[in-house]
């Protein structure tokens, strides 16, 4: 097929989701945020929830997510997104309410809000972008920073005596009675992107069906913060992040019920 034929509308097999607008994204090359934004937009589109979706945006690189996906958004103070999402969902149960948060936001400043919202079984979805550092503010150490990993605030690498161990929020979430679906995904390959999309869809369905709380962690790259090229960052993530943060479902109450 000629290139001209490929770009003919009748030959189009894949397109940008309608909800993702044409604003230029501000993310660095190789950042995972843009891919996850696309998945969120696609799932909302496909589920026909455009008029019902309310996203809670974080403080961090993804603060501007509301500039890219054309649904209703509410901006939360750092770490408070799950509390705000709980309030909105309780006041407006017919809405799809989800948060979109980085690890600095979710696993440090908002640890309490995250755990309590999940434990209460709020019918929300938390999308957790874990890039193991505070990206927006210059790459400082986060609770999720790996042992030995160098950041702006631990240039010689994270040490257990000084900084403790990397926090596995998703494993904690899986232990909480209120969670319906807890999963860890990534978006580094086409296959991984497809799985991450299915995970987001399942979480959104649970949120709409009143099944309980849902946490979708996406193990992510921050090539600028990690000071790597996009290709190096993907490789580093696979080799270093995945052994500590293994991918897959940690809890799926719907399957437990069917056993």
Ligand X SMILES: Cc1ncc(C[n+]2csc(CCOP(=O)(O)OP(=O)(O)O)c2C)c(N)n1
Which positions touch ligand X (CB under 6 A)?
58-62, 78, 102-105, 109, 129, 131, 134-137, 142, 222
Cβ-proximal residue to ligand X, closest one: 102
Q: How far is the CB of 201 from ligand X (least distance, A)?
A: 23
Q: Nearer to ligand X by C-beta: 26 or 194? A: 26
Residue whose CB is less far from ligand X, 61 or 146: 61
For residues 44 and 61, which CB has a smaller minimum distance to ligand X in the complex? Answer: 61
CB half-sphere exposure, 90, CA atoms < 13 A: 10
Closer to ligand X by CB, 49 or 224: give it.
224
Tell me the C-alpha distance between 178 and 216, whole Å.
Answer: 15
DSSP string spanning 65-113? Answer: GGGTB-SEEEE--TT-HHHHHHHHHHH-TTSEEEEEEEHHIIIIITHHH
Minimum CB–partner distance for residue 55 and ligand X (Å): 15
- How many angstroms separate the CA atoms of 162 and 167, rounded? 14
Written as six digits, the tokens of 88 are 């909105």
Per DSSP, 23 falls in state P
Nearest approach, Cβ of 123 to ligand X (angstroms)?
Answer: 24
* C-alpha pair distances (Å), 222 with each of 107, 153, 237: 17, 16, 9
* Shortest distance in whole angstroms from residue 127 CB to ligand X: 12
Instruction: Indicate the residue among 134 and 245 with the shorter CB distance to ligand X.
Output: 134
Shortest reach from residue 33's CB to ligand X, in Å = 7
Is the CA virtual torsion 170, 172, 212, 258 positive or negative?
A: positive
């Amino acid at each position: 097929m000629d290139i001209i034929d490929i770009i003919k509308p009748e030959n189009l097999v894949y397109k940008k989701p309608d909800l993702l607008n044409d604003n230029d994204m501000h993310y660095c090359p190789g950042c995972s945020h843009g891919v996850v934004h696309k998945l969120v937009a696609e799932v909302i589109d496909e589920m026909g929830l455009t008029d019902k979706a309310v996203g809670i945006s974080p403080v961090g690189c993804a603060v501007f997510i509301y500039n890219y996906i054309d649904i209703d958004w509410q901006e939360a103070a750092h770490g408070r997104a799950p509390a705000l999402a709980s309030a909105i969902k309780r006041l407006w149960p017919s809405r799809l309410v989800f948060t979109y948060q980085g690890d600095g936001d979710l696993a440090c400043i908002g640890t309490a809000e995250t755990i309590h919202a999940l434990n209460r079984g709020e019918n929300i979805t938390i999308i957790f972008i874990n890039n193991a550092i505070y990206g927006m503010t210059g790459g400082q150490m986060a609770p999720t920073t790996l042992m030995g990993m160098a950041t702006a605030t631990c240039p010689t690498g994270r040490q257990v005596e000084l900084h403790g161990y990397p926090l596995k929020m998703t494993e904690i979430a899986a232990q909480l009675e209120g969670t319906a679906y807890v999963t860890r995904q990534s978006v580094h390959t086409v296959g991984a992107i497809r799985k991450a999309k299915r995970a987001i869809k399942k979480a959104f369905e649970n949120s709409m069906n009143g099944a309980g709380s849902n946490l979708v962690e996406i193990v992510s790259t921050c090539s600028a913060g990690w000071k790597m090229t996009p290709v190096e960052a993907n490789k580093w993530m696979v080799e270093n992040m995945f052994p500590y943060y293994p991918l897959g479902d940690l809890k799926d109450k719907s399957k437990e019920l069917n056993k």
